[in-house]
Amino acid sequence: MRIVELIIDELDENSGIDAISLVENPAIEENFLALSKDKQYKFAEVDKEKRLLLGAILVPNKPIYRKDGDEEYYIYFTKDTVRKAAELYLSKGNQNNSTYEHFEKIRGVSLVESWIVEDTEKDKSALYGMDLPLGSWVGSLKVYNDEVWNEYVKTGVVKGFSIEGYFSDKAERPKEQIKDELTKEIEAGKKLLKIKENLVRYTFETYNDYPASASNNAKRAIKYKEENNIKCGTRVGWTRARQLAEKKNISRDTIARMASFKRHQQNKDVPYDEGCGGIMWDAWGGASGINWAINKLKSLKWNYLILGVIQALEMAKEVVCAKMAELMLESAVMAHIKHKA
């Protein structure tokens, strides 16, 4: 498979990174840390939170899978390109440019710290348990936007950074040493990917067996919102309502968020025209939808256990563990099948 080095064309004023996107699945596979004053979330102390997201923005010599049409290939950036990208991003004044999933521009998110890892042991990122190679571009984003912080960061909807920009194809294979490193990492990734694919139907299923009454509750809430132009709820809440109303499949994470909405049940009887409690309760499926979600989570506990094993294995860097990993996962799957039977 082709391996392409991307570079910054210094003669092209558009070359470089335009924005940093908050995403659920960062291509560089490095999640950020959400830092508060006490390094954990405390809803009673929201006003004291630093609201900082610290993480890797770009990692050198990290193979990133891409597919254009029928062509599959990997791209990577050298240490020099990573450094140039970091410098250009700030010199062009792009520190306030942020998006959500490379689609929606968001305001109130700014890059307030930016540095290149020069010493893996003494670097600030190491204080937070990050194991990043030399030459990595690390940054801290300050989240001033209440909706982004509460609905996307705290809920775990977004987990890392991803870049947006324009780069040139160097149109040559990487040097042998770098090529060997990339090839080893690609092969390790392929082995774990194969293991994950064998488990995908057990672990990453989506579901739409929630009751019809949950869909009807969501439809009723959406209809009232559209007819009366109310300002209740968040984009996440109304996205969930549309999924339920259209009987779409939802993931385990979405089911977990539905179940957690149980905490708002004290407001479920508030009339639509007197407040937001009742309409948002129905938007999330109402009592039938939320109770379904709670029971569904219990039935999926084995799937979640296997997912935890996979995530732990992905954190392991040694390829030599692949065979052992495969045996562990096969045992977990057999236990899961026996449990379901």
* DSSP letters for 193-209: HHHHHHHHHHHS--B--
CB 193 within 8 A of CB 236: no
Length of the chain: 341
Half-sphere exposure of 211 (CA within 13 A, CB side): 14
**CA torsion, points 92, 93, 96, 99, in degrees to nearest 10?**
-10
Going by their DSSP bridges, the two strands 33-35 and 104-106 should be labelled as unpaired
Distance CA 83, CA 90 (A): 11
Question: Taking the domains of the chain in order of start, what are their residue ranges?
Answer: 2-174, 212-299
Half-sphere exposure of 194 (CA within 13 A, CB side): 10
Distance CA 236, CA 145 (A): 15
Instruction: State the pLDDT at residue 189.
Output: 65
**CA torsion, points 111, 99, 156, 201, in degrees to nearest 10?**
-140
Query: What's the distance, Cα to Cα, between the start and end of the chain in Å?
Result: 41
Whole-angstrom CA distances from 209 to 133, 212, 254, 289, 324 are 45, 9, 14, 10, 36
Distance CA 220, CA 228 (A): 12
Q: What is the pTM of this model?
A: 0.48
List per-block mean pLDDT (blocks of 10 residues) for the chain, which spans 341 residues. Answer: 74 72 64 39 37 87 77 84 89 88 84 92 85 90 89 82 72 54 65 57 72 95 92 88 92 86 92 94 95 88 58 49 53 51 45
Whole-angstrom CA distances from 94 to 19, 20, 104, 110, 335 are 7, 9, 16, 9, 51
Would you give the DSSP letter of residue 149? I
CB 180 within 8 A of CB 72: no
Instruction: State the pLDDT at residue 330.
Output: 57
CB-count exposure of residue 16 (10 Å: 0-12, 13-18, 19+): buried
Helix (H, G, I), strand (E, B) or coil at 34: strand
Q: Hey, what are 10's tokens? A: 């210094």
